[in-house]
Structure 1
Amino acid sequence: MFNFDFYNPTRILFGEDRLGSIDQLVPADAKVLITYGGGSAKKYGTVDKVRNALGDRIVHEFGGIEPNPHYETLVRAAEIVRREQIDFLLAIGGGSVIDGTKFITLAASYDGDALDLLKYGFSPIGLDVIGHTVPFGAVLTLPATGSEMNSGGVISYGQGKYPVFSELAFPKFSILDPTLTYTLPKIQVANGVVDAFVHTTEQYLTYPVEGRIQDRISEGILQTLIEIGETTIAEPENYDARANLVWSATLALNGLICAGVPQDWAAHMIGHELTALYGIDHGQTLAVILPSLLEVRREQKRAKLLQYADRVWRITEGSEDDRINSAIQKTRGFFESLGVKTRLSDYNIGADKIPEIIEQLKTHGMTALSETHDLTLDISQEILERAL
């Protein structure tokens, strides 16, 4: 196991009817900005419930944060934070709104051009760049990204998606009430299951380093998602199934299972380009890329793929290659059982588009991906070709 530092200060309030806790968690004299997305938080009354919980505090609202939140939108919100001297931000939504709110608080506290904050990539933005930020909390309404309990986000600018990380971007608290997710469209729930699943495999399907605890937790997350995936889509008000999805998605990316082990993230980097270029949902891009990536990288990942076949899918018979093939097939089949397609052709993307995708990867510096940094543009092209 590698050396690691683990730090996660986010308080989690999990379960039904937790919105009332906001009154104790937000300073009594705070001037609050509520952030949200396309309107469902308003339509289904969540914004009103949060406002009620905030009592007599001065409250402003900023709606319209997009899926794959746009830089231009977020800097407008950052200006409101500065102009109105906001003391606390409260994000209501899924990963996009929470990611966006992280960037809002960073940008509002940065003295320079906020565009500079997109240049750090996976290197955390430190206290030497931003001395302090306006604190924020989150009310989760879409389980998928784990943004409710981590310090990272992905921001869209031009034709690119840019990771932004900082210890200053951890939520102070996140409220995870599974009942707030009941009204989600089926495709958003399915995308969330896929996203949580692939977050886990990005940290698990690499190479062995004797991270036994991390492996067992990862395997438990994957098995849970397989067990409840179809149920939580078919039965949106099945509390137990939805609660397990919510907590699985949080645990998949709160820093616990990546501590001390190698991480891949190539499926995400390639998938981001599909979203940026063609508007395909993030979870859908992962369902397309992961099975093909595992096929192409089977030798580099052989030991962990065999472990995955055994411990997650209970595949114990046949040759090593047969077991790996079966595990990859079952992964693809699982995504499709959720109603999520797994081929580029399902989204009308043919071989003629692959050069454009590769050029975007090159433009964004994604020329040496994977846990071993040897996934070249030629290999990315092979993965895309297999995904057709």
Structure 2
Amino acid sequence: MKFSYQNTTQILFGQGQISAISQTIPTNSRVLVVYGGGSIKHNGVYDQVAAALSDHQWQEFSGVEPNPTKETLDKAVEIVKCDHIDFILAVGGGSVIDGSKYIAAAAHYDGDGWDILTGQHQVSSATPLGAILTLPATGSESNSGAVITKSETQDKLAFLSPYVQPAFAVMDPDVMKTLPDRQLVNGLVDAWVHVCEQYLTFNHGHMVQDGYAEVLLRNLKQLAEQFDQRDSDVWRENLMWTANQALNGLIGSGVPHDWATHMIGHELTALWHVDHARSLAIVQPSLLRNQIEHKRAKLEKLGTEVFKLDAGEDLANRTIVALEAFYHQLGVATQLTEHNGDKQHAVDNVIEQLEKHGMIKLGENQAITLKESRAILEQAIA
């Protein structure tokens, strides 16, 4: 076990914490408030932000989509450059926060911002940013990663940079009160798979990371079982904090990662606009069955420690069945149906995109070749 771990994001957790941004953003900053479709104007968050920024010079940029697009974000990049913005405040879920990270990095680059996603430009500076989280799911509020879509070419790619780590994250569970059930479910599923991608690899003996991952998975399983209690403060608080811990870098420090479910799932979202979390639920069970020999020991550990299954020769298989049942109890499908029925064409499309994006050897063992990805998709697509 060898790693370097640092998380510089200040977490402001709890009810009423949005007002704290009046102190955490310097009053001499020129602030761009970035948000999505406008729900923050109906749930009181926008008014709280405006009140907190009453002594600041600020303007706004709205319209960031779920699965944020380069085409939309580039408009905000121009605003940052032209109006000399020196602080970005992301108000939203993972898409808005990811989009704001792209804006912050691209605003410090004279070329095409997509170069950041393709690796042609390494981020060396960015506009400072903070986040007000409105939808718990991705953990983007306190990590250095972002996923961006280029609509023109149906590409969905990720980048990592310490320069876009949010300076602070406001996490007020009250903002979840008006979220639709679908988004709450997506948050549960997204956080679940984030933990799995750092846990379901092979036995390595790192007790803290494994033990903490199992606690987070048990939390999410319990929150799913108690979904009828989603209107309680305790339920909201626990989902918001668990989803954050799932991808703030801690449980992934010094351990092998997978991320193949995400890489394949991204293509389903780019091609058919499947909700990000639901694309993961579609891919994961089929991927686990395909890779069961590589992952058997960890699947058995998941089965006993999280699903409380009895030991036995078929424990790994029963764990995958239990995982599917976890998704189904939330009303989440584990097969793709958005492709309009032409299964072979859909499989070919995804494989073509994976090859185009260099995703030809995935997983902790690099064992998921395009051949294996095709076999996974044959099972995952209805």
Q: TM-score range by the shorter chain?
A: over 0.9
Question: Using a 3 Å threshold, how does the CA distance of structure 1 residues 106 and 346 change in structure 2: closer, same or farther?
Answer: closer
1:99 aligns with 2:102: no
Equivalent in the alignment of 2:318: 326
Write the distance in 1 (CA, Å) between the matches of 2:31 and 2:234.
33
Segments ≥4 residues shifted beyond 4 Å: 346-350
Partner of 1:238: 232
**Is 1:294 equivalent to 2:288 in the alignment?**
yes
Note closer, same or farther for the CA distance 1:225–1:81 as it changes in structure 2 (3 Å cut).
Answer: same
Could you give the per-residue CA deviations for residues 246-289 of structure 1, whole angstroms, max 9, x where no partner exists? 11111111100110000000000110000001111011111111
Distance 1:235 1:166, change over 3 A: same
State the Cα deviation string for residues 21-50 of structure 1 (Å, max 9, x = none).
Answer: 111100011111100001111222211210
**2:169 alignment partner, SS class:** strand
Once the two structures are superposed, the pairs formed by residues 237-316 of structure 1 within 5 Å of their partners are: 237-316=231-310
2-side partners of 1:348 and 1:111: how far apart? 41
Aligned to 2:183: 188
CA shift at 1:324, angstroms?
A: 1.0
- CA deviation after TM superposition for structure 1 residue 290, in Å: 0.7
Within 5 A, what are the aligned runs for 1:1-388?
1=1, 3-120=2-119, 129-130=123-124, 132-157=125-150, 158-232=153-227, 234-319=228-313, 322-345=314-337, 348-352=340-344, 353-387=346-380, 388=382
Given residue 263 of structure 1, which amino acid in structure 2 is its aligned partner?
Answer: H
Counterpart residue identity of residue 333, structure 1: A
Q: Secondary structure at the match of 1:260?
A: coil
Aligned residues: 378
How far off is 1:350 after superposition? 4.6
Question: Aligned partners of 1:249, 1:13: CA distance in 2, in Å?
Answer: 15
Gaps of 5+ in 1: none
Structure 1 Cα separation of the partners of residues 21 and 171 of structure 2: 12
Amino acid at match of 1:50: V
Asked whether the equivalents of residues 37 and 97 of structure 1 are also in contact (C-alpha less than 8 Å), the reply is yes
1:17 & 1:27 partners in 2: Cα distance? 20
The code of the aligned residue for 2:201 comes to T
Deviates more, 1:270-279 or 1:109-118: 109-118
The CA deviation string for residues 124-144 of structure 1, in whole angstroms up to 9 with x for no partner, is x75xx43x3221110000011
Tell me the SS of whatever aligns to 1:105: helix
Cα deviation, residue 231, structure 1: 2.7
Task: Please state whether the residue corresponding to 1:300 is helix, strand or coil.
Answer: helix
Tell me the distance in 2 between the aligned counterparts of 1:133 and 1:249.
26
Coordinate RMSD, CA, aligned: 1.4
Separation in structure 2 between the aligned mates of residue 317 and residue 269 of structure 1, nearest angstrom: 32
In the alignment, the residues of structure 2 paired with residue 304 and residue 203 of structure 1 have an alpha-carbon distance, to the nearest angstrom, of 11
Query: Partners in 2 of 1:290 and 1:224 — Cα distance?
Result: 19
Shift of residue 112 of structure 1?
2.6
Q: Are 1:344 and 1:350, in contact at CA under 8 Å, matched by a contact in 2?
A: no
Deviations 1:209-232 (A, max 9, x none): 211100001000000000012434
Distance 1:194 1:87 in 2: 35
Q: Distance in 2 between matches of 1:317 and 1:370?
A: 26
Preserved CA contact (<8 Å) 2:66 2:95: yes
Tell me the CA shift for residue 332 of structure 1. 0.5
Q: Given the two structures, how large is their TM-score scaled by the length of structure 2? A: 0.96
SS class of match (1:156): strand
User: How far off its partner does 1:349 sit?
Assistant: 4.7
User: Cα offset for 1:348?
Assistant: 4.3
Kindly provide the amino acid, as one letter, of the partner of residue 208 in structure 2: I
Distance (whole Å) between structure 1 residues aligned to residue 97 and residue 79 of structure 2: 17
Is contact 1:51-1:59 (8 Å) kept? no
Identity among equivalent positions (%) equals 47
Secondary structure of the residue that 2:230 maps to in structure 1?
coil
CA apart distance, 1:318? 2.5
CA distance in 2, matches of 1:194, 1:323: 22
Deviation at 1:235, TM superposition (A): 3.5
Measure, in 2, the Cα distance between the counterparts of 1:246 and 1:60.
Answer: 28
Q: Do the aligned residues in 2 keep the contact of 1:33 with 1:88 (CA within 8 Å)? A: yes
